[in-house]
Amino acid sequence: MPMLRLEMHPGRTPEQKREFVREVTRVAVEILKCPPESVDIVIQEIPRELWAKAGKLVSEA
């Protein structure tokens, strides 16, 4: 069973999230040869103040 995890900043619409999980599931099924019911996707939104990149907080960049 594929388990996919997406971490991103808040702000995407529910429709964007729906489209993402629909397309990622479609590709996983096609490439991994598994049923759609076996594909789990977790979306976790992480606020900018808790995210850092290249040694700096994203919220301060």
In the chain, the N- to C-terminal Cα span, in Å, equals 38
Are the C-beta atoms of 44 and 5 separated by less than 8 Å? yes
Is 0.85 surpassed by the pTM of this model? no
pLDDT digits (tens, 9 = 90+) for 23-35: 999 999 999 999 9
pLDDT tens, position by position, for the chain (61 residues)? 899 999 999 999 999 999 999 999 999 999 999 999 999 999 999 999 999 999 999 888 7
Quick count: other Cβ atoms within 10 Å of Cβ 9? 13
Domain extent for 55: 3-60
Domain count, the chain: 1
Q: Which two tokens stand for residue 41?
A: 């996707």
- Whichever domain contains 20, its CATH number is 3.30.429.10
Indicate which residues carry an active-site annotation: 2
Radius of gyration, alpha carbons of the chain: 15
Tokens describing residue 17: 């999230």
